[in-house]
Amino acid sequence: MNKRIKYTIIGFCVIICASIIAVSYLFLGKSGKCSKETVIYIDKDDTTDSVFYKARLGWRGNVINLVRPYEQVRTGRYVIEPNMGILTLYRKLRNGQQDPIQLTIPPTRTMSRLAGVISKKLMLDSLTIINALTNEDFCNKLGYNTRTIPALFIPNTYEVYWDISLKNLMKRMQKENEVFWNTEREQKAKALNLTHEEIYTLASIVDEETANDAEKPIIAGLYLNRLHKGMLLQADPTVKFAVGDFSLRRILGEHLKKDSPYNTYLNIGLPPGPIRIASIKGLDAVLNHKEHNYLYMCAKADFSGTHEYAVTFNEHRKNAQNYIRALNARNIH
């Protein structure tokens, strides 16, 4: 056997032995274990190399590059748990066995804010979401229009996958909406002779009127009384929505003249859609409204966030005068 062949065989054996030792150390030794829980996010722009880099951040050493058969990049959120072996992670990434996240849909005021909240938790970007929710065809396919689409969302926390598509997210929201409108709530809605969207719209107004959950059934009952009598709702939150400024603390005559279908000082009945994502408390307040004869309400002069209620306009006028004096005393314009 000549020296070249001899050295080639020896070199080949060394490589094999080194590989066996390295792989054994990788799967059985300390360097093959994750040092602490790490979460990696793999998006559609990732490559095999970038996946290796992200995974390596939660690992001791640089040994993950030994596993090269990983070729197909599968998007998702993956949790690398302490003491997880590299082989387990490899299989997890290869098979796309991602870990879900908890997505909370909040009772927020605007769809833009909702899009921002969702985009911070999912692979979806906010522009994609808001463009879809303001697209008539997209909303129609879901059974809504661009004004009623907020009624699709039931604020709650849902377990979803980070890379869920917008289409599948909307399907999930439809499913959760159907779960919310169970037999009991459906019967109460029919008793009110209101559609789901109309109940949702009224609930959104109630939510804007008060943060006090105990008051919500009273306020809901008041607006239902006005609806049944064919009166203008005259709900200040709808004026703020029409003007586009929720920060208004004092509604002036110029605001009441705002030409908008959402201005309930000018238009009888409910506005054409919700003025925010309604809370479950608000929705149930409408469905379980308190029976009374109140037709008027005014914020209390003590600025407690609660209200004075009245059956007659004269009573209401006295309450309103007290509140106006309180605003003037605090120089609130």
Q: How many residues does the chain have?
A: 333
- Residue where a domain terminates, one of 130, 154, 180: 180
Position 10 in a domain: no
- The amino acid at residue 235 is A
Ramachandran class of 331: left when φ > 0, alpha when ψ lies in -120 to 50, beta otherwise: left
pLDDT category of residue 320 using cuts at 50, 70 and 90: confident
pLDDT digits (tens, 9 = 90+) for 179-198: 999 999 999 999 999 999 99
Q: If you compute the radius of gyration of the chain from its CA atoms, what whole number of angstroms results?
A: 30
Same domain as 206, residue 195: yes
Same domain as 270, residue 198: yes
Give the C-alpha separation, 85 to 31, whole Å: 9
Same domain as 191, residue 262: yes
Give the C-alpha separation, 294 to 299, whole Å: 14
Kindly give the residue spans of alpha helices, DSSP state H, lying in 134-246. Answer: 136-141, 166-180, 183-192, 196-209, 216-229, 236-243
CB within 8 A of 186, min separation 6: which ones? none
Mean pLDDT check: name the lowest of 42-51, 73-82, 259-268: 42-51
- Residue where a domain terminates, one of 271, 292, 313: 292
Same domain as 218, residue 199: yes
Q: Would you state the structure tokens that stand for residue 306, as one six-digit string?
A: 């609660």
Please check the confidence at residue 84 and state whether its pLDDT lies above 50: yes
Q: Would you state the structure tokens that stand for residue 305, as one six-digit string?
A: 């966030």
Give the C-alpha separation, 235 to 167, whole Å: 35
Q: In what helix (H) or strand (E) does residue 22 lie, and over which residues does it extend? A: helix 3-28
Position 70 in a domain: yes
Position 273 in a domain: yes
pLDDT category of residue 326 using cuts at 50, 70 and 90: confident
Same domain as 242, residue 147: no
Q: Domain span at residue 72?
A: 21-95
Instruction: Give the predicted TM-score (pTM) of the model.
Output: 0.83
Same domain as 114, residue 83: no
Same domain as 141, residue 77: no
Position 236 in a domain: yes
The number of distinct structural domains making up the chain is 3
Position 279 in a domain: yes
Angle at 74 between CA 68 and CA 75, to 5 degrees: 130
Following CA atoms 95, 99, 101, 102 in sequence, which dihedral angle do they give, to the nearest 10 degrees? Answer: 130
Give the C-alpha separation, 60 to 83, whole Å: 11
> Average pLDDT of the chain?
85
Position 155 in a domain: yes
Spatial contact of 119 and 133, defined as CB atoms under 8 Å apart: no
- Residue where a domain terminates, one of 95, 125, 149: 95
Position 302 in a domain: no
Same domain as 118, residue 75: no
Give the C-alpha separation, 303 to 245, whole Å: 20
Give the rounded distance of the alpha carbon of 165 from its chain centre: 15
Same domain as 149, residue 83: no
Please check the confidence at residue 28 and state whether its pLDDT lies above 90: no
Please check the confidence at residue 261 and state whether its pLDDT lies above 90: yes
Same domain as 276, residue 199: yes
Q: In what helix (H) or strand (E) does residue 99 lie, and over which residues does it extend? A: none
Same domain as 119, residue 27: no
Collapsing DSSP to helix, strand or coil, 192 comes out as: helix
Same domain as 88, residue 124: no
Look at 323 and 145; give whichever has higher pLDDT. 145
pLDDT digits (tens, 9 = 90+) for 160-170: 999 999 999 99
Position 288 in a domain: yes
Contacts 24+ apart (CB under 8 A), 96-99: 98/74, 98/161, 98/162, 98/163, 99/39
pLDDT category of residue 3 using cuts at 50, 70 and 90: low
